[in-house]
């Protein structure tokens, strides 16, 4: 499957395929171990997962089926932190079955923290952040990659730009999102209709210039990361997607919204204090 694919697109020989990209065996793979990969896949799919024992297996099955159909090399990095359920056990079963799937574990909670760890460990040319509930069908990843899309640095899935569609979202959640977006545009990054969707693609070298400067470990990390990207002049595009509302959100509407508002101010303050200036 994926080995055959490697022979085609990347033009590497089967020996190389056997010996390189899939050295992700083992159960709980930590960041340092992932970095022992010898060659880089084309795509890394990074899945933050917190209490996802129910939703994740079906999603990983769909991701695997999708990747098996592609003619490029890929890896999947699941980042689990602070789950109270058996998320890690569920992922370990996939890690044992598929050498291109690995897991990072961290004790402290936070989606932002999980994404940062995953991004900095991943090896793909394109690094794709992907919510565990697959509220965007995984097939739409193709919209973020050549040949469909090229000539960009950061591509963010959008539920708001022309061509996008939302399915099944409660009106109150949509409204909350619009108010938050208004504040994002006012206080931090202008020009984007939807900064919060859980599907974003970064060119690797761009991600490595941005994520080390990320300080927000919770839900507001998207804004901070886009703020840094925007500040550095990277080309950011919004990609219209089909998005399906999934129940059982880990977001607590009131508490997390207030925290995220504080995080918008933190981004401003950090910038003022020079936190995002490149350290050479």
The partner in contact with residue 263, picked from ligand GDP, Mg ion, none with C-beta cut-offs of 5 to 8 angstroms by kind, is none
- Residue-wise over 140-165: b if at least 16 C-beta within 10 A, else e? bbebbbeeeeeebbbbbbbbbbeebe
Exposure of 224 in the CB half-sphere (CA atoms within 13 A) = 29
Q: How many residues bind ligand GDP (CB under 6 A)?
A: 21
Between 153 and 194, CB nearer to ligand GDP: 194
Element (H, E) at 49: strand 43-49
**Both tokens of residue 237?**
């595009």
The residue within the footprint of ligand GDP, chosen from 25, 109, 181, 257 (CB under 6 A), is 109
Contact between 176 and ligand GDP by CB under 6 A: the answer reads no
Which of Mg ion, ligand GDP, none does 110 bind, CB closer than 5 to 8 A by kind? ligand GDP
Contacting range for ligand GDP; rule: CB under 6 A; set: 27-35, 47-55, 142-150, 174-182: 47-55
If one asks whether residue 50 binds ligand GDP (CB under 6 A), the answer comes out as yes
116 binds, among Mg ion, ligand GDP, none (CB under 5 to 8 A by kind): none
258 CB burial (10 A radius; 0-12, 13-18, 19+): exposed
| Angle between helix 87-97 and helix 56-68 axes, rounded to 10 deg | 20
Choice from 250, 259, 261, 271 touching ligand GDP (CB under 6 A): 250
Q: Which of these ranges, 130-138, 162-170, 176-184, 201-209, lies near ligand GDP under the rule CB under 6 A? A: 130-138
Q: Which stretch binds ligand GDP (CB under 6 A): 15-23, 35-43, 44-52, 162-170?
A: 44-52
The structure tokens 């925007």 sit at 230
Tell me which of 198, 226, 227, 267 binds ligand GDP, using CB under 6 A. Answer: 198
Subset of 110-129 contacting ligand GDP (CB under 6 A): 110-111, 114
Exposed/middle/buried for residue 84 (C-beta within 10 Å: 0-12, 13-18, 19+): exposed
Q: Which stretch binds ligand GDP (CB under 6 A): 65-73, 152-160, 220-228, 245-253?
A: 245-253
Sign of torsion over alpha carbons 256, 122, 188, 184: negative
Place of tokens 């998005």: 243
Q: How far apart (Å, rounded) are the C-alpha atoms in residues 120 and 209?
A: 10
Instruction: Give the interface with ligand GDP as residue ranges (CB under 6 A).
Output: 48-50, 52, 79-82, 109-111, 114, 131-133, 135, 198, 246, 249-251
């Amino acid at each position: 499957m994926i080995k055959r694919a490697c022979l085609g697109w990347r033009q590497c020989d089967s020996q190389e395929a056997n010996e390189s990209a899939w050295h992700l065996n083992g159960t709980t793979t930590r960041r340092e171990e992932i970095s022992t990969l010898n060659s880089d896949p084309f795509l890394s799919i990074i899945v933050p997962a917190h209490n996802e024992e129910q939703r994740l297996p079906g999603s990983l099955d769909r991701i695997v089926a999708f990747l098996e159909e592609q003619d490029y090399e890929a890896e999947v990095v699941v980042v689990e932190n602070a789950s109270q359920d058996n998320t890690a056990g569920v992922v370990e079963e996939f890690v044992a079955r598929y050498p291109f799937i690995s897991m990072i574990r961290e004790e402290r909670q936070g989606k932002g923290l999980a994404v940062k760890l995953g991004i900095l460990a991943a090896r793909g040319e394109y690094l794709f952040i992907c919510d565990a509930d697959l509220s965007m069908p995984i097939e739409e990843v193709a919209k973020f990659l050549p040949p469909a899309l090229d000539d960009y640095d950061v591509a963010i899935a959008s539920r708001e730009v022309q061509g996008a569609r939302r399915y099944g979202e409660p009106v109150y959640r949509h409204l909350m999102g619009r108010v938050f977006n208004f504040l994002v545009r006012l206080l931090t990054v202008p020009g984007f209709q939807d900064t919060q969707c859980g599907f974003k693609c970064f060119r690797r070298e761009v991600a490595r210039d941005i994520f080390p400067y990320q300080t927000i470990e919770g839900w507001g990390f998207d804004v901070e990361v886009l703020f840094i990207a925007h500040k550095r002049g990277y080309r950011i595009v919004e990609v219209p997607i089909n998005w399906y509302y999934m129940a059982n959100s880990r977001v607590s509407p009131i508490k997390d919204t207030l925290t995220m508002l504080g995080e918008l101010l933190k981004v401003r303050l950090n910038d003022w204090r020079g936190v995002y200036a490149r350290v050479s």
